Amino acid sequence: MTNSDRIIVPLDVPDLESAIALLDLLPEVNFWKVGLELFVSSGAEILAILQERQKKSFLDLKFHDIPNTVAGACRSASRYQVDLLTLHATAGRQALRAAKGAISDLLSPPKLLAITVLTSLNARELALDLKIPLELSEYALNLALLGKESGIDGAVCSPQEVAQLRRVCGEDFLLVCPGVRPSWSSKGDQSRVMTPAQALKAGADYLVIGRPITGAEEPKVAWTKICHELADI
């Protein structure tokens, strides 16, 4: 797998037509993320299109509910044959175990990823707004370990926490990092960021890079520039 194959580009667009236009614009991208906005707008049709085009898919719906509901949602989502699927670690141990158990008998289940701390949150918000009495990095690690102990395949974390999670959770634990921004792009609403090269060197398996590519004046140029920056790592 080349480093360009480690880049997941989000289809953060409002409708199916816009998503197809982005796929057509960036045929070199092999891994796409479908989040809440597009899935609520257009349903599973975009996942079928990604399959037809032989692309990998990351269904990022961040399930967070009681164990029975989370388990059922994960099993239902698995029928779309996606590669990655997210649920919140804060749903708790029972929900995480139920989710894993619900798909364990499938022939090709998706890899389940536990959401740790959203990359839009900073330490001040964690302490003052959410009343979490832990350092942000410690809280993210605790949630990742909860996922690992519950049989979840990996975690979604900020690149700023990825080195610690890699060291503690091991090489077989999949780590996917949003909040990745090239040095030449804006941070936007991301609070805890790294460049693509820094994130890979820190131990990330996959990088989610959205607006620096999809929001660029020339998305294909931005994609190529990032790939070149990662070529020698």
Instruction: Say how far apart CA 40 and CA 31 lie, in whole Å.
Output: 20
Query: In this structure, are residues 140 and 84 in contact, taking their beta carbons and an 8 Å threshold?
Result: no
Query: In this structure, are residues 91 and 104 in contact, taking their beta carbons and an 8 Å threshold?
Result: no
CB atoms within 10 A of CB 183: 10
CB atoms within 10 A of CB 175: 25
Query: In this structure, are residues 154 and 176 in contact, taking their beta carbons and an 8 Å threshold?
Result: yes
Instruction: Say how far apart CA 165 and CA 204 lie, in whole Å.
Output: 10
Pick the catalytic residue: 56, 62, 220, 225?
62
Q: Which amino acid is at 97?
A: R
Q: Is 62 known to be catalytic?
A: yes
**Could you list the active site residues?**
62
